[in-house]
């Protein structure tokens, strides 16, 4: 089992000094500062994302579940299946890092782009961890800076130890053991932020996405993971897709009165109800190198019937993703 804490500190020690990247000025937009700090931690790798740099792209379809429209009037919850572009990824900014490398920290990503009938798009961006280490972009930047300042010569307690001591949710997040999945297709994924879902009658509920394998989640031991090829998560999914579609259930975990919809560190109890929106089928592996640069997944790229909540991380994520996209496509 691996934790993000060990990963982040290891990468900070090994790359921060070596890259010589200068962090953004404090008066720069927050998204710019976040991307610069990630570049400082992971190194600058032209043409790739600042975070979740290593990924694999697939095609798929979404088929709505009966009754899904009672939660939201989103167009992809009606009628015929909707084509999808799906990107699975490892966290961290090192594009050629093995799946089990410390820079990954055991956190995976699944980003989905719905190709809507009118030619527009809608996105869902999830990670394999339930919850997030901090509630604001400012605190995330502070965490990244603390990691960067916690090299081998840093006095004890190091800046990252001090930060984690003052932020219990971050400490819990980065020290949570995360097993290695058999493939990207055997891993559950969770929405970081809450969104507002409204149906055609105007009734609204807040919820967070959950993406669950139709078959049970499947993992390997640390010992077996260490023996695998560096790209086993994607390679194993490609091998499965060649035989049959790999399927997930798309759910919304619905908030109850009193559940925070503006703080991503607040994980709601599993006892809260879930609404099944439909089935995601991963049907074809794409040539990732050919399609990667044109893909941008944004938490705020929404369609009617789904709105962003007031969670401040949503706009911060959008700013950072847009900044990273602009740099890698120059």
> Which pairing describes strands 246-254 and 204-213: parallel, antiparallel, or unpaired?
antiparallel
Residues 6 or more apart whose CB falls under 8 angstroms from that of 272 comprise 253, 254, 255, 256, 259
Whether residue 157 contacts residue 209, with contact meaning beta carbons closer than 8 Å, is answered with: no
Residues 6 or more apart whose CB falls under 8 angstroms from that of 326 comprise none
Among the options 52, 101, 167, 253, which is catalytic? Answer: 52
Structure tokens at 191: 């929405």
Q: Which of 287, 310, 324 lies closest to 85, judged by CA?
A: 287
Q: Which of 70, 105, 69, 108 lies closest to 86, judged by CA?
A: 108
Q: Which residue is it, tokens 């509920």? A: 205
Can you spell out the DSSP letters for 237-299? Answer: HHHHHHHS-EEEEEEEEEPPTT--SS-TT-PPPTTS-EEEEEEEEEEEE--HHHHGGG----T
Whether residue 160 contacts residue 148, with contact meaning beta carbons closer than 8 Å, is answered with: no
The helix (run of H) or strand (run of E) holding residue 180 is strand 180-181
Structure tokens at 287: 């040539």
Question: How far is 204 from 206, CA to CA, in rounded Å?
Answer: 7
Residue 14: exposure state from Cβ atoms within 10 A (0-12, 13-18, ≥19): middle
Angle at 19 between CA 142 and CA 322, to 5 degrees: 55
45 tagged catalytic: no
Q: Which of 75, 89, 123 lies closest to 304, judged by CA?
A: 75
Within a 13 Å sphere around the CA of 161, how many CA atoms are in the beta-carbon half? 8
Active site residues: 52
């Amino acid at each position: 089992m691996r934790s993000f804490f060990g990963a982040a500190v290891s990468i900070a020690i090994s790359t921060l000094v070596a890259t010589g990247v200068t962090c953004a000025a404090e008066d720069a937009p927050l998204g710019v500062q976040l991307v610069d700090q990630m570049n400082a931690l992971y190194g600058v790798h032209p043409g790739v994302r600042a975070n979740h740099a290593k990924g694999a792209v697939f095609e798929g379809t979404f088929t709505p579940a009966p009754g899904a429209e009672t939660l939201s009037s989103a167009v992809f919850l009606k009628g015929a299946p909707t084509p999808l572009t799906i990107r699975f990824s490892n966290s961290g900014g090192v594009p050629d890092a093995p799946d089990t490398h410390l820079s990954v920290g055991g956190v995976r990503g699944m980003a989905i782009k719905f190709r809507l009938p009118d030619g527009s798009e809608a996105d869902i961006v999830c990670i394999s961890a339930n919850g997030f280490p901090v509630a604001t972009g400012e605190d995330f930047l502070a965490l990244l800076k603390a990691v960067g300042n916690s090299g081998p010569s840093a006095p004890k307690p190091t800046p990252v130890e001090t930060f984690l001591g003052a932020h219990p949710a971050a400490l819990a997040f980065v020290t949570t053991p995360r097993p290695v999945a058999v493939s990207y297709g055997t891993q559950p994924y969770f929405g970081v932020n809450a969104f507002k879902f409204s149906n055609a009658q105007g009734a609204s509920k807040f919820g967070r996405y959950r993406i669950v394998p139709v078959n049970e989640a499947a993992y390997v031991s640390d010992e077996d993971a260490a023996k695998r090829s560096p790209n086993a998560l994607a390679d194993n999914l490609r091998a499965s897709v060649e035989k049959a579609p790999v399927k997930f259930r798309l759910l919304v975990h619905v908030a109850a009165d009193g559940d925070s919809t503006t703080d991503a560190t607040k994980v709601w109890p599993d006892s809260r109800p879930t609404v099944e929106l439909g089935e995601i089928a991963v049907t074809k592996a794409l040539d990732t190198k050919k399609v990667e640069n044109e893909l941008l997944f944004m938490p705020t790229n929404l369609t009617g019937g789904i709105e962003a909540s007031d969670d401040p991380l949503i706009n911060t994520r959008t700013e950072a993703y847009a900044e990273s996209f602009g740099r890698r496509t120059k």
